[in-house]
Amino acid sequence: MNEMHYQLDLLKAMNQKLTERERMYHVVCDSAVGASLYYSFERNQITTLGQWRDYFTFELHESKDFSLLLDAVDESDSPALRDVLFLEKTGQSTATAECRLKGTKTWLDFRVNVYYGEDGRPVDKVINISNITKFRIQNEELTYLAYYDGLTGLFNRNYFVRLLSEYVRNASEKNCVVSVMMIDLDDFHKINDGQGMVLGDELVQQFGCCLKEICEANDVIGCHLHTDVYLVAIYDPSGNRTMEKLHKEIQRRTHRPFKLSTGQELPVTFSAGVAEYPEAAHSAIELINCAEIMVFKSKAMGKNNIQYFNTLVLEEFLRTAELESKLKEAVFNHSFQMYYQPQYFTESRKLRGMEALIRWRDGNDSMISPSIFIPIAEKNGAIIPIGKWVVEQSVMQYARWRKCYGYPFVMSVNISALQYSSDDFVDSVMDVLRKYEVNPSEIELEITETILIEDFQTVYEKLKLLRNYGIRISLDDFGTGFSSLSYLKRLPIDTLKIDKSFIDTVLTDSATRVITDAIINMVKALGFESIAEGVEDKRQYEYLRTAGCDVIQGYLFGKPLSEDEVETLLASVR
């Protein structure tokens, strides 16, 4: 009897434990974030749990109802779902499928687990379903960003380079051509700086979208490289798919001004450079670099045009780039030297002055001409420290010679346009004069006409200021630039230097003679002093003397001299 009671109590206790467990499982399943489905193979029965109703409007009861799930997802995802829903057919235990619910933007993840009995037959199947819409959208955005440029919808740099590398690889196997064009909007910085980055971006976007349409219509690839720079590539160009045609099409489509959201209309032109595999380079990056060099050339030739790859241009670019980097080192190491070329009064043949001319001896002890490196220094800004050094060096040297030989003359120093544009130019020159106690009237600054053409008013004010301090101003290389005699009278100058190109042909060309005579007479009438540059020949000298030119500078009377040679000269003058 006791034994029976005991068995009964045990059964009760076990039953109670079971209902507690069942309850626990229900609560856990119902509060889970997703939905679950349990299928018993033995009973051919489906039980749905959790948030089933959040995703589906139907219930599933037995195996054939799985087809309702297949109908509920997007057609393209249904084969993948079928594979996992009937996973037992493969003998696998676990698999997943990501499917979009038909007609919605909701993405569901189906994670299936099949449990097998000892005999290997499937017993239970559990399918956990979760909403992964947020994750999918983020993923799609990331995927988009991996290939496309957010601003223009064109390919981004990385993806474009990948595609271009494939083009080049294929072209090398099939012996064909790949053409790359770089496009750079003209004067974009003026728009960006002047009108603000927001409008700048809008322009980049509009141009990019237009380019995208053209690329898609012509079956070529395009990319937004950075700021206002784009790239286009054509695999195996022929017929209508050539860069020339594409360039024309882009010009045609971007011909009209771009209308910005402010209502403002902006006309835009662009410069383009083209390089082709295998002529220009053998890799995607090198091709892009070559196209960029051609863009530089295109800009240097006046913008709004297209330049095709050319070995000579590439060589010139590489030479300049090498010089540029050497020049930076030279500025750092002070590898410059000043030479001085004497100038003589034509009549008396007495020393009038010296022109300070910079010399650069590079590492191999070869001389690089200032006509080559000064323009580079002007472009990359190195002219500012170089120019400061030249002024200080020449004034200091003059002060020493003046003291040593007691012989006053004029020290002429060449000044570049960029030096004038720095705010402290006048002050810095005056500081140097004070430092070395040099009389301003013994220093002459040489300017070229191009300076005046670029920014007349600013330069004009500075020249007036310098002249008020007593510094002499000389107009160098007259006749090579604008050369308008009419604006001469407005200039605050003391001296005009007639360019060597006139002197070279003054004896052989009657037209040059007429102009040279006119210049000398005009200079005299305006009360300036005239200097003839590059006088090499005695007959040239005789002619200039008769014509009334005041001063002669040239190899005939003296080449540019080193400091030691100048000292010998000054000692002999004394």
Residue (247 or 497) nearer to ligand C2E, CB: 497
Q: Is 448 in the site for Mg ion (CB under 5 A)?
A: no
Contact yes or no for 223/183 (Cβ under 8 A): no
**Closer to ligand C2E by Cβ: residue 179 or 414:** 414
Phi, psi for 152 (deg, rounded to 5)? -110, -20
| Residue 237 contact partner, candidates Mg ion, ligand C2E, none, CB within 5 to 8 A by sort of partner | none
446 binds Mg ion (CB under 5 A): yes
Nearer to Mg ion, 155 or 344 (CB): 344
Question: Under a CB-based contact definition with an 8 Å cutoff, are residues 479 and 501 in contact?
Answer: yes
Please state whether 17 falls in left (phi above 0), alpha (psi between -120 and 50) or beta.
alpha
Tokens of 377: 């220094």
Please state, in angstroms and rounded to a whole number, the distance separating the CA atoms of residues 165 and 163: 5
Beta strands 122-131 and 107-116, pairing class: antiparallel
On whether the CB atoms of residues 498 and 505 are closer than 8 A, the answer is no
**Contacting positions for ligand C2E (CB under 6 A):** 341, 357-358, 369-371, 374, 387, 390, 414-416, 446, 476-477, 533-536, 553-555, 560
Distance CA 82, CA 68 (A): 11
Given the rule CB under 5 A, which of 82-90, 181-189, 446-454, 458-466 is the region that contacts Mg ion?
446-454
Q: Is the preceding peptide bond at 237 cis, omega within 30 degrees of 0?
A: no
| Residue 276 contacts Mg ion per CB under 5 A | no
Cβ distance to ligand C2E smaller for residue 2 or 371:
371
Give min distance, CB of 409 to Mg ion, in A.
Answer: 16
Give the type of residue at 300.
A
What is the closest distance, in whole angstroms, from the C-beta atom of residue 542 to ligand C2E in the complex?
A: 15
Measured in Å, how far apart are the chain's first and last C-alpha atoms?
148
User: Per-residue string for binding with Mg ion, 462-481, x by CB under 5 A?
Assistant: --------------xx----
Output the six-digit token pair for 472. 């002499």
From the list ligand C2E, Mg ion, none, pick the one residue 276 interacts with, judged by a Cβ distance below 5 to 8 Å according to partner type.
Answer: none
> Do 483 and 498 meet the contact criterion of CB atoms below 8 Å apart?
no
Distance, CA of 232 to chain centre: 16
Closer to ligand C2E by CB, 182 or 357: give it. Answer: 357
> 182 has which bridge partners?
231, 273
Kindly tell me which of 149 and 533 has the beta carbon lying closer to ligand C2E. 533
Residue span binding Mg ion (CB under 5 A) among the ranges 256-264, 387-395, 517-525, 531-539: 531-539
**Nearest approach, Cβ of 372 to ligand C2E (angstroms)?**
9
Nearest approach, Cβ of residue 223 and Mg ion (Å): 47
Specify whether the CB–CB gap between 81 and 110 falls below 8 A.
yes
Amino acid letter, residue 516: T
Residue 430 CB, nearest approach to ligand C2E (Å) = 19
List 179, 397, 414, 530, residue binding Mg ion (CB under 5 A): 414
CB of 501 to Mg ion, least distance (A): 10
Q: Which does 88 bind (CB under 5 to 8 A by kind): ligand C2E, Mg ion, none?
A: none
Closest to ligand C2E by CB, 179 vs 412, is 412
Per CB under 5 A, 553 contacts Mg ion: no
Q: Which of 52, 340 has the CB closer to Mg ion? A: 340
Angle, CA 171 vertex, CA 169 and CA 174 arms, to 5°: 115
Neighbours of 73 (CB within 10 A): 23
232 interface partner picked from Mg ion, ligand C2E, none, CB below 5 to 8 A per type: none
Between 231 and 475, name the residue whose CB sits nearer to ligand C2E. Answer: 475
Shortest distance (Å) from residue 370 CB to ligand C2E: 3
**HSE of 483, CA atoms in CB hemisphere, 13 A:** 13
Rounded to the nearest whole angstrom, what is the least distance from the CB of residue 457 to ligand C2E in the complex? 21
Can you say whether the dihedral through the CA atoms of 453, 455, 458, 462 is positive or negative? negative
What is the C-alpha separation between 47 and 40, in angstroms, rounded? 9
Tell me the pairing of strands 410-414 and 529-532.
Answer: unpaired
Q: Please state the closest distance from residue 459 (CB atom) to Mg ion, in A.
A: 16
Q: Rank residues 152 and 341 by Cβ distance to ligand C2E and give the closer one.
A: 341
Contacted entry of ligand C2E, Mg ion, none for residue 371, CB cut-off 5 to 8 Å set by kind: ligand C2E
Q: Measured from the CB of residue 464, what is the shortest distance to ligand C2E in angstroms?
A: 21
Q: What DSSP string runs through 438-493?
A: --GGGEEEEEEHHHHHH-HHHHHHHHHHHHHTT-EEEEEEETSS---GGGGGGS--
Instruction: Annotate 170-186 with b (16+ C-beta within 10 A) or e (fewer).
Output: ebeeeeebbbbbbbbbb
Q: Does 343 bind Mg ion (CB under 5 A)?
A: no
**Does residue 77 touch Mg ion according to CB under 5 A?**
no
Q: Rule CB under 5 A: say whether 495 interacts with Mg ion.
A: no
Give least dist CB 336 to ligand C2E, A.
8
d(CA 130, CA 29): 13
Q: Tell me whether residue 273 or residue 560 sits nearer to ligand C2E (CB atom).
A: 560
Nearer to Mg ion, 446 or 550 (CB): 446
Contact 560, 339 (CB under 8 A): yes
Distance in Å, CB of 369 to ligand C2E, minimum:
5
Report the interface residues with Mg ion, using CB under 5 A: 414, 446, 476-477, 533
